[in-house]
Amino acid sequence: MSSQASAEGQQNGQGAGQEVTGVPILLDGVTKQYGSKSAPAVDHLTLEIPAGSTVMFVGPSGCGKTTTMKMINRLIEPTEGSIVIDGEDVTTMNGDELRRRMGYVIQAGGLFPHMTVAANIGMVPKMLGWDKQRIASRVDELLELVSLDPGQYRDRYPKQLSGGQQQRVGVARALAADPPVLLMDEPFGAVDPITRQRLQEEMISIQQELKKTIVIVTHDIDEAVKLGDWVVVFDEGAHIQQYDSPERILSDPANDFVADFVGRGAGLKTLGLARVHEVPRMEAVVVTPEQTPAEALRQAEESGHGHVLVLDKQQRPIAWPSVEQLRRAEKLPHIHEENLPVVGTGATLEDALDTMLVSRAGAALVVGARGRFEGVVDLDTVMETLRDRRAGENQPKAPVGTNDEDITLERSPETGEITIVPSGGGAR
């Protein structure tokens, strides 16, 4: 495991260029012992959670994920160690006050059944003494953020909502007072796989906009690598097995425990992390439907291409005939062909590969806004992009994470970077 601190987590391209509204969190040598005889549920954990990043806690049942998370908002009090939020030790601060500064989302939203959606969302702002008008407009703003029509949903009760809608309201409620930190415990655990996927996508786009510091507990490694800037894989006692980027967790597991936890198909999961816009695009031989097949053939031969791309006036692909097809054709197609191997720039490489494998050309046409053609990607360029990502040379260093008792942390006054100093002295 890398032992040095990094700046903000910026994996997954999440929120590049957005202002970070989250704050850094540091668990400094934190232990939780439930009974005097039992082994600690969390054993001397030191963990840096960079501002504005999404950090995923994964690990087997009972390894201490929830205990660790609940110590951050002090729903559970640590037996030892301290919790530092935005440079302030909150270990002895009033717990209720602390929790008002943090959003907290649990499975199925954890909504109060006897309160309307608006009352649920407005609860913390009301406690903070906001006036009615301000609360009402905040409720509507948040319902829109989580894709629920305020007019339709604000006066409903939780039982009048689907599981996914309840979950959305839970997220809206957690964000109500605009806290810099959001803690989520298995937030998408109680919904069907399709709703789960939709909520995950929504969470990614909300985070792109807000750049909070988010900690999510999950059982699901796929969810962890999809949503996380950083992933902590815990074993019993909240012992960190690896704290790293999703790419490195998948492509370079620190040990057999992590490799087993990631399971088979790690390479395929990496495909789901990268997006088509990251892959360099190649040009195509472009023709219009008004040209003759002979002209198109000549253009293809001159540039040594095996296919030509017929585009309409809006630059949208109509057809992608091969040279052999052109030789037999009497004229070029005017009607948009169905089943063209087209992918959007935001599609994952998994989708792109899927498209390419069924395409006659062994490549895919990339389209941007309004279906405009932007270039061609093929297997070689996709593989190259994957190799670059796996090499990970341009990726930031992982944040600090250790269960080693014999360390102290030093924060650089200039950069805020945290460095581990072993008891022997000297940064490592």
Ligand X SMILES: Nc1ncnc2c1ncn2[C@@H]1O[C@H](COP(=O)(O)OP(=O)(O)OP(=O)(O)O)[C@@H](O)[C@H]1O
Nearer of residues 190 and 282 to ligand X, judged by Cβ = 190
Contact 57, 68 (CB under 8 A): yes
Of 23, 25, 30, nearest in space to 234 by CA: 30
Per-residue contact flags (x/-) with ligand X for residues 183 to 222, judged by CB under 6 A? ------------------------------------x---
Helix axes 163-175, 132-145, angle to 10 degrees: 130
- DSSP 8-state symbol, 238: G
Q: Please choose, out of 60-68, 137-145, 168-176, 196-204, the segment that lies near ligand X by the rule CB under 6 A.
A: 60-68
Interface with ligand X in residues 219-278 (CB under 6 A): 219
**What does the alpha-carbon distance between residue 388 and residue 248 come to, in Å, rounded to a whole number?**
12
Q: Please choose, out of 43-51, 65-73, 125-133, 338-346, the segment that lies near ligand X by the rule CB under 6 A.
A: 65-73
Nearer of residues 25 and 353 to ligand X, judged by Cβ = 25
Q: Which helix (H) or strand (E) holds 70?
A: helix 65-72
Least Å distance, CB 229 to ligand X, is 21
62 scored as a contact of ligand X (CB under 6 A): yes
Interface with ligand X in residues 10-49 (CB under 6 A): 34, 41
Nearer of residues 219 and 331 to ligand X, judged by Cβ = 219
Sheet holding 181-185, edge to edge: 102-106, 181-185, 213-217, 54-58, 230-235, 239-244
Place of tokens 């994952």: 348
Nearer of residues 36 and 61 to ligand X, judged by Cβ = 61
280 scored as a contact of ligand X (CB under 6 A): no
102-to-59, 178, 289, 411 alpha-carbon distances in Å: 24, 9, 58, 24
132-to-47, 119, 129 alpha-carbon distances in Å: 40, 11, 9
Binding test (CB under 6 A) with ligand X, winner from 25, 27, 63, 287: 63
Beta bridge partners of 172: none
Q: Please choose, out of 21-29, 57-65, 120-128, 383-391, the segment that lies near ligand X by the rule CB under 6 A.
A: 57-65
Q: Please choose, out of 12-20, 59-67, 245-253, 329-337, the segment that lies near ligand X by the rule CB under 6 A.
A: 59-67
Contact 273, 226 (CB under 8 A): yes
Contact 316, 298 (CB under 8 A): no
Nearer of residues 165 and 403 to ligand X, judged by Cβ = 403
- DSSP 8-state symbol, 322: B
355 scored as a contact of ligand X (CB under 6 A): no
Binding test (CB under 6 A) with ligand X, winner from 10, 67, 116, 165: 67
66 scored as a contact of ligand X (CB under 6 A): yes
Nearer of residues 60 and 163 to ligand X, judged by Cβ = 60
Q: Please choose, out of 56-64, 97-105, 161-169, 308-316, the segment that lies near ligand X by the rule CB under 6 A.
A: 56-64
77 scored as a contact of ligand X (CB under 6 A): no
How many residues sit close enough to ligand X to count as binding (CB under 6 A)? 11
Least Å distance, CB 105 to ligand X, is 15
Binding test (CB under 6 A) with ligand X, winner from 10, 26, 55, 65: 65
Contact 250, 269 (CB under 8 A): yes
Least Å distance, CB 204 to ligand X, is 23
Nearer of residues 64 and 253 to ligand X, judged by Cβ = 64
The tokens for 354 are: 């899927």
Interface with ligand X in residues 78-117 (CB under 6 A): none
77-to-31, 72, 83, 88, 287 alpha-carbon distances in Å: 9, 9, 10, 17, 68
- DSSP 8-state symbol, 183: E
Half-sphere exposure of 400 (CA within 13 A, CB side): 28
Least Å distance, CB 233 to ligand X, is 12
Contact 238, 57 (CB under 8 A): no
Nearer of residues 62 and 95 to ligand X, judged by Cβ = 62
Q: What three-state secondary structure class fits 406?
A: coil
CA angle 78, 81, 82 (to 5 degrees): 90
Least Å distance, CB 34 to ligand X, is 3
56 scored as a contact of ligand X (CB under 6 A): no
Least Å distance, CB 75 to ligand X, is 11
Helix axes 193-210, 163-175, angle to 10 degrees: 20
Binding site for ligand X (CB under 6 A): 34, 41, 59, 61-67, 219
